[in-house]
Amino acid sequence: MLPPIPALSDYGISPTHGFLPDSLPLTRLPDPYYNKWEAVVANLQALILSRRLRGVIDRLPILSTIGLEHDAEWRRAYSLLSFMAHAYIWGGDSPSDRLPPPISIPFLQISEKLQVPPVATYAALCLWNYKPLFMDEDIDNLENLATLNTFTGSLDESWFYLVSVAIEARGAPIIPLMLTAITAARQNDSATVTRCLRAFAERLTDLTAILQRMHESCDPTVFYHRIRPFLAGSKNMGEAGLPRGVVYEDGSGNENYRQYSGGSNAQSSLIQFFDIVLGVEHRPTGEKQEPGSESDRGRRPSRHNFIQEMRRYMPGGHARFLADVTQVANLREYVEDHTGDSQLCIAYDACLAMLSAFRDKHIAIVTRYIITPSREVRARSRSRSPEVARQRMNLAVASQKKENQGSRSQKGTGGTALIPFLKQARDETGEPAVEEWTRRFMKRQVRTEGRGDFFLGKPHDGAPVDTEDVEVKGLAGSWTMEDDVGGICLY
């Protein structure tokens, strides 16, 4: 007997807003009892700049969570404490490896209630941290969105979060659409499956267009040096000043160091949902597809540890939804059983092509916002100027410190193959393609403009950008571009 198609309401997922909450996030907790939390976050930038944040938080009373009633209030409290916690850890000249009871005690309780780790997750930064400027306009319009909280008070930081919010909102209708397609496949309704796949492909094009707008109001230099350090977690942060992680002081006297990954778009349930319903399977980075495995449906590849790990950072209902959808996903098999239906196959391949294009754009953004600024940091660090020596110890300078020490890839710092991971994920997106021409098209090598130009030299002159050995700190760990490092995170 086939398992039932998941009902969105059972997982706290909105049929109109998707993984965004069905009701808009609260702009303030209604109970005045929590005014101190609201006041700290409202003045976060000034408290960080004046070096007063830690003292203020240390003197806060330990507030009970008993006054939090509705889900929206619990989510608001979680977001507030996420910002307070990361500002406390990363807002000084050196990181703090302890969170005091005024943060840690309620943070642990709220996280348990919402089934998310006590860290600034994608949910805290994006899903539960926005408001529309005009209530009668759509929330998938970037011009109608604003953030509730930021670390820096900059437009760049707001825009960075809001691009993800707009993508979640624009992609929300895909969720019920593809559940309809799964139901239709069970009923052998090829026309409905084809219609749903066509609509999916068109909506994916919209998501890529939104992602391409990142550069409009988020400067790579501002992101790399000012915003990104606050997004770091406590896992693999030895070079950034947290070799053991962070202690959450709960008054028990038995506190241990905890390690969590920081906020990352990899924690978006929407993108994982796309892969699941299309039958895209990801292998550990560096693991190749075996010849002939395309048609061997009974043999599943190794599961990608990082992708599974990121589900721990999603709200509990969202992670359970992805697990249950995995049990009913049937579109890849249905298309492979109906290769004579050209319209169905073209629609399915179009979805894969559009998802691959989305990942291409993501690679370009990672290069612009992480890889390129990291090279600039390395170039400046060689000067050993007094300005460099006086920099704070945080995520933004950890790679520079490593470079000055003459180390390229020390073990135990969370070395991760960023670009190889992203490129392999993109390439794996095209593997289920039905038509041979589609597979050839998505395996093509995109030629970089000017590569091999007379004035730039031949391709083999110097290390190509794709394979140059560059180690930089990512949002939640140490990224490295070495092809022989397995997985986006080393566990």
Q: Binding site for heme b: what residues are annotated?
A: 362
Q: How far apart are CA 61 and CA 353, in angstroms?
A: 54
Query: Which residue's entry shows tokens 């996280």?
Result: 111
Which whole-number Å values give the CA distances from 437 to 290, 444, 463, in the listed order?
Answer: 20, 11, 32
Is residue 158 within 8 A of residue 150, CB to CB? The reply is yes
Annotated binding site: 362
Q: Dihedral sign for Cα 6, 9, 14, 18, please.
A: negative
Rounded to whole angstroms, the Cα distance separating 179 from 204 reads 16
How many residues would you count in the chain?
491
